[in-house]
A and B are shown apart, each in its own frame.
Chain A
Amino acid sequence: MAQFWYYVFTLVFFLFDYFILAMGLNIQYGETGVMNFAYIGFVAIGSYVTGAVSLPNSVGTGQQYIFGWNIPFPFNLIMGGIAAMLLAVVVAFIALRRLRTDYLAMVLFALSFVLYDIINNYPRLFNGADGLYNVAEPMTGVFHMSTNSFVIFFSLVTAAISLILWAVMSRITRSPLGRTFRAIRDDADVASALGKGVFRYQLTSMLIGSFFAGIGGGLIIQFGGSFNPSAWLPGETFVVFAVIIVGGVGNNVGLLVGALLVETLLIHLPAFLPDIPGRPGLIEYFSAMVIGIVLMAMLWFRPQGMLPERVRKFPAPAGELLNRDGHSVVAPTPVEAVATTNSAAQVADAHEGNDA
């Protein structure tokens, strides 16, 4: 029975963790149009740094890593988020400044391999191919929890954090800043013709999204106690893309639905199924295939996602008279109608003026 709840709350954890990751990628890609194909690299940096700053000094631990500052939760988590933002600054100045969407996507994808190789091959950073382990479960000391109750506790902590971040993100996407992001996504030339410094806003969006990536990554190492290169193969980026494409690009609630469908039901649930006798790993391969098929089906039949982006409506200014359909009572005739007499008269006036 305890085992069952352990599984359930592990699923709950990954649901909300991927909700956070999806929000971070969504502000970059869904709102601002930056195809961050290196996204999983930001998650990894967040995870490693969260772990490495919370571990004790590495001497005598049998691991090699930088930091080792004994920083407690949640401050280590915040440092993980900030580390991912620093990576975003570097990436933005290398790639974002000069490259347009498709090239940018390729360069970022290449960058995630570079990052992967560096971390994998320089053990002095984050213990190389072995990755970090023995990262203490936060707050177990305070509450004297068993592993099972920790899983329940921490998945609920993660859910709470994701809801706070969701509130923060909604506030951003509903603001004029979010609108400017979407203007850049739709047509960066038009946005800059309207005076928007495109790079500045793309950088802002990268920073926000990277912070979310870092937090999401940090929660993973706090939940499981370890993190190593097998957890962030460059292709993992596309799982997060799948979450936001299935859920609905540009819709924060849709992202939770996407996380439920892709991450929880297609990836983690099958991982708990017992192996088919004689065919170890078959279920895992199968679930990867199903994700691919689901993604293609979504793009084919419902490219806007389960919960599409919704048009943002604004309350009419005070004093407005609306009829039952929400149309203004005093609104002039629609576009293709006859010329307003006023303007037509002015054109005629000007005509005479020119003749004179």
Chain B
Amino acid sequence: MMTYKDLSTTPAGSEGPILRCEGLTKAFGGVNAVNGATFDVPRNKITALIGPNGAGKTTVVNILSGAMKSDSGTVHLGSTDVTNMDRAKIARLGLMRTFQLSRELGGLSVLENLLVAPKVQAGESIFNIFFRPRLVKREERQNIERATEILRTYGLYDLRDNWARELSGGQKKLLEISRGVMASPSVFLLDEPMAGVNPALIERIGGYILDMKAQGVTVLMIEHNLNVVERICDNVIVLAEGKTLATGKLSELRQNKEVVTAYLGEVINASTGH
């Protein structure tokens, strides 16, 4: 079992929901992609963000991670107001995200993809490189050790010296998740981590996400596979047309008429063939 260091460096205090957003809106031209989304993400839980295609899920993740500016609304990470804050700063506060289409750093090796992740490294300063080489070396050795451990857990160890661009689709998904883990996040936003991977790998990724929770990470994952949601997620947020339609446990939501019409209906119909 891998260990996640530095998880206590949460800026978020230790009380209440770790992530809160209120009245988020974002329009692209005439399209109101996000239209008043309001929800809390409870601390140290796995929360699913579900909803039809085009509901605005990815856009919400983009706003939460600072990749896009919202038109209005607020985002709090713990007690810190991170609304429209610079995304690198948000990341350094402990919020990591993955992308719906995985984005590897193709010109780096698999191992380097992880090594780049620790948020603040002594070796990223020119001064340290030339005048404190021992410090740089020591930190690098620790990072390599930890990255190696994570790659082992994620089954990527034998590929550590390969170019990341040469990985398969599923391997890239794993690489992106393990890279996020390497950054020791307190909140990890996963945009469809299981999309396009085989059933065995879905099981494994589910296991990794449960591992994260066991290590104190809060996970918010966009997921279309309700089977997975049912098995690993503690809570569900339903987004439709950019609004929060409902939140709760999946079993409760199945009784919610609105939710069934907006989203679950399609899925249930599709899976039972009606």
Contact = CB atoms under 8 A, between A and B. Distances in A.
Question: Are both chains from one complex?
Answer: yes
Given A192-B87, A339-B203, A343-B210, A176 B121 contact: yes
Nearest to A177: B124
B116 A335 contact: no
B169 to A, nearest CB: 10
B183 interface: yes
B266 interface: no
Contacts of B65: 193
Given A175-B129, A176-B116, A180-B121, 15 more contacts: A176-B115, A176-B136, A176-B140, A187-B103, A190-B105, A193-B65, A193-B67, A195-B91, A195-B119, A197-B88, A333-B155, A334-B159, A343-B210, A344-B207, A346-B207
B40 interface: no
A331 B129 CA distance: 32
B157 A347 contact: no
Contacts, number: 172
Contact of A180 (B106, B124, B158, B168): B124
Nearest to B173: A335
Given A177-B125, A179-B115, A317-B141, A335 B171 contact: yes
B210 A171 contact: no
A194 interface: yes
Given A314-B111, A314-B144, A335-B168, A177 B91 contact: no
Given A189-B67, A195-B119, A347-B206, A312 B112 contact: yes
User: Chain B's interface: helix, strand, loop or mixed, by majority?
Assistant: helix
A335 B155 contact: yes
Contacts of A192: 87-88, 91
Given A186-B105, A347-B232, A195 B206 contact: no
12 contacts: A175-B123, A176-B123, A190-B105, A193-B87, A193-B96, A316-B148, A335-B168, A339-B201, A342-B207, A343-B203, A343-B208, A347-B210
Given A193-B87, A354-B231, A331 B157 contact: yes
B200 interface: yes
B115 A336 contact: no
B126 interface: yes
Contacts of A198: 88
Contacts of A172: 126, 129
A354 B152 contact: no
B138 to A, nearest CB: 12
B81 interface: no
Nearest to B111: A314
Given A193-B96, A335-B174, A339-B203, A351 B231 contact: yes
Interface in A339-356: 339-340, 342-344, 346-347, 350-351, 354
B145 interface: yes
Nearest to A309: B107
B168 A336 contact: yes
A335 B156 contact: yes
A332 interface: yes
Given A194-B179, A195-B119, A333-B155, A340 B124 contact: no
Interface in B116-161: 116-117, 119-126, 129-130, 136, 140-141, 144-145, 148, 152-153, 155-159, 161
A317 to B, nearest CB: 5
A250 B112 CA distance: 15
Contacts of A186: 105-108
Given A172-B126, A347-B206, A194 B117 contact: yes
